[in-house]
Structure 1
Amino acid sequence: MNLTILGCYAATPRTYTNPTSQVLEIRNRLFLIDCGEGTQVQLRKNKIKFSKINRIFISHLHGDHFFGLVGLVSTFMLLNRTADLHIYGPKGIKEIIKLQLKYSNSWPNYGLFFYELESKESEIIFEDDKVIVKTIPLKHRVYTNGFLFQEKIKERKLNLDAVQSYEIEKCYYQNIKNGKDITLDDGRCIENHKLTFDPVPPMSYAFCSDTMYDESIIPIINEVNVLYHESTFLDSEEALAGKTMHSTAKEAAKIALKANVKQLILGHYSTRYENIEIFKEQAETIFPNILLADDGKSFEF
């Protein structure tokens, strides 16, 4: 599982920082999460192929999370894209994007599909044979969702020594990897656990931005491998965090601790701060496994 941070700062872009956007690669699936201004420039800087992006997830309709979307959709058209593009986001996103495309006379020549979200309960919004994506309802000034990306359990690993010792033919190998027991010609039933090893545990990633401190998300993100949680403010601006419905670094750490996550990534920093290391210092007083997001930074898990 790989995560590339394209932008992780709040509100407005600067010459050296970008608003929220990131790319998650999991089980050879590439997902773009949020699309602030400058996203397509950051994609180029980080050498991420545009053609690999087929699904985009937008958390909410504040500009620093989606103002780059129509530009990216338009660029796909100029690049003669033919593959379908699927966009998941709050109700209203379809109207906003279609209106811009309509009046700029630049409707794409590829399939553009919108999946508008309204539910205030967690729901599955995408699923294939390898990955499942669920919403994480968040509390912000407008309707907002985070997203939980989960690998499906992989097939079991074949124990070749055991299989060969029972002289099992290769045509049965896939059934064994799928978890089935095998009956030999002499009538003996060989249980699957004697022929296989457990698969590598599935990975999971939770994206939570923007939101105020909200313990109701804990059951949804419980024990995820990696949690990205907004930490717009430091302790000194705790009152402002409450007023604007954002979180502090310590509040993000409290969520990580209570949800028993393995790793916490902080991001969505207010641009009022010059040194983001202080976010880590404050969060580490509550939760030990802290990483700091930063533009262009990649993580491999």
Structure 2
Amino acid sequence: MGFELKILGANSAIPTATRNTTSQLISINQSHYLIDCGEGTQIQMRKYRVKMQRIKTIFISHLHGDHFFGLIGLLNTMHLLGRQNELSIFCPPGLREIINLQLKVADSRLNFEIKFEELEFNNGQNHIYSDNIADVYTIPLDHRIPCNGFLFVEKPKNRRIKKELIDKLKIPIEQLPKIKEGADFHREDGRVFQNEEITLPPRKSYSYAFCSDTRYNDRIVPFIENVDLLYHEATFTEAFRERAQQTYHSTARDAATIAEKAKVGKLIIGHYSARYKNFDQHLEEAREVFANTELALDGHTFSSRDL
């Protein structure tokens, strides 16, 4: 598996019968990361066959309910399903107290440890997480309360050994990892095979930026420049531009303008107001500015094959 983004919910504050509030699952080479956890996220995971126990890290952008009200339910379900692995949650200050209070009044204890990592909110970009798959950075957003976006940057991959040469050259299994990392192959008869002879270039690494919630502010452009995939909220169409400004949200045209300025590969728009029955106007207005725009729809998956 390469890079994959699954939309679990793409509505704004109010869910509808067919659209849930914000949550996304990123899968990169079998590592799974959850961004936001609106009410009902665990139901969406069941619906779209997401294996929630594989989630290793959760990132919460801000403390408006449509971005975290589903968290306590998800944590409790993980507990009931027997989770024991530690779970890291990167979040605004205050979420730890909320979760602990919910557990306390319910006289509940989880079988697994939660490691809360409280985030800073400033005008810059902070490196907050790293594993052997990806690095994660915050993106400063412009919302009514402190809010961070997240930038995922997949780490460079190893080179790929030409499979037909493993048997032909009798390459020992224990040497394969070093060769993938760039080492030459020294055979017992003294012959040396240069790494470039026996390997293929590494596959492309991808980057993804998540920007929700925010009103238009092009100060984020340097932080997301040239990303392969950008999700930017587009709560309203141009007919409600004044409403967007008042509520610290963006229009579809705003999102597309940011994508065009940042020279991203593909734009996904979402976080729709419940007032809309369909998003044809959102898509039309965005594509007038940035042609390679798609809609975030519940259950839809974007993968490296689309980029």
Taking structure 1 as the reference length, the TM-score comes to 0.91
Within the candidate set 26, 34, 37, 2:28 is matched to 26
Conserved? CA contact 2:15–2:274, under 8 Å: no
Partner Cα separation in structure 2 for residue 215 and residue 61 of structure 1: 23
The letter of the residue matching 2:216 is Y
- Distance in 2 of aligned mates of 1:43 and 1:263: 25
Counterpart Cα distance in 1 of 2:146 and 2:63: 8
Kindly tell me: are residues 51 and 161 of structure 1, through their superposed partners in 2, closer, same or farther at Cα, counting changes over 3 Å?
Answer: closer
Superposition pairs of residues 116-127 of structure 1, within 5 angstroms: 116-120=118-122, 121-127=124-130
1:48 aligned partner: 50
Residues 36-45 or 115-124, more deviating? 115-124
Check whether the contact 1:132–1:149 (CA below 8 A) recurs between aligned residues. yes
Deviates more, 1:213-222 or 1:255-264: 213-222
Q: Alpha-carbon deviations, 1:23-51, whole Å to 9, x = none?
A: 11112111111111111111111111221
- Aligned partners of 2:121 and 2:147 also within 8 Å: no
Partner of 1:174, secondary structure, is: helix
Q: Is the CA contact 2:135–2:152 (under 8 Å) kept in the aligned structure 1?
A: yes
Equivalent residues of 1:162, 1:194 under 8 A apart: no
Match of 2:100 in 1: 98
Conserved 8 A contact 1:2-1:26: yes
Partner Cα separation in structure 2 for residue 54 and residue 162 of structure 1: 36
- Aligned partner of 2:59 among 52, 57, 69: 57
**Structure 1 counterpart of 2:252, one-letter code:** A
Cα distance in 2 for partners of 1:25, 1:164 equals 32
Percent pairwise identity: 47
Moved more, 14-23 or 250-259: 14-23
The residue identity in structure 1 corresponding to 2:296 is: A
Q: Hey, what's the Cα distance between the residues in 2 that align with 1:187 and 1:160?
A: 22
Counterpart in the other structure of 2:206: 203
Show CA shifts across 1:164-192 (max 9, x none).
99x68546543332123567899998654
Specify which of 224, 227, 235 is matched with residue 227 of structure 2.
224
* Aligned counterpart, 1:146: 149
2:112 maps to 1:85: no
Among 209, 212, 215, the residue aligned to 1:212: 215
1:285 counterpart = 2:283 = no
Contact 1:27–1:151 (Cα < 8 Å) also in 2: no
Matches within 5 A, 1:152-231: 152-159=155-162, 169-170=171-172, 172-181=175-184, 192-231=195-234
Cα distance, 1:91 vs structure 2:
1.0
Q: Runs of 5+ in structure 1 lacking a partner?
A: none
The normalised TM-score by structure 2 is 0.90
Query: For 1:182 and 1:47, how far apart are their aligned partners in 2?
Result: 43
Q: For residue 138 of structure 2, what is the aligned residue in structure 1?
A: 135
Greater displacement, 154-163 / 183-192 = 183-192
1:27·1:131 contact (CA, 8 Å) conserved in 2? no
- Partner residue of 2:68 out of 66, 69, 72: 66
Contact 1:59 1:90 (8 Å CA) reproduced: yes
Q: Cα RMSD between the aligned structures? A: 2.2
Q: Which stretch has the larger CA shift, 78-87 or 250-259? A: 78-87
State the AA in 2 paired with 1:35. C
Q: Distance in 1 between matches of 2:198 and 2:18?
A: 55
When residues 101 and 196 of structure 1 are mapped into structure 2, their CA distance, relative to the original with a 3 A threshold, is: same
Q: Give the corresponding residue for 1:113.
A: 115
Query: Per the alignment, in what secondary structure is the counterpart of residue 13 of structure 1?
Result: coil
For 1:93, give the aligned amino acid.
L
> What is the aligned counterpart of 2:39 among 34, 37, 40?
37
Hey, what does 2:78 align to over in structure 1?
76
User: 1:234 — aligned with what?
Assistant: 237
Tell me the distance in 1 between the aligned counterparts of 2:102 and 2:294.
37
1:275 to 2:278 alignment: yes
Paired AA for residue 217 in structure 1: I
Per-residue CA distance 1:134-191 (angstroms, 9 max, x = gap): 11111111111111112111111235688999x6854654333212356789999865
User: Partners of 2:82 and 2:193 in 1: how far apart?
Assistant: 54
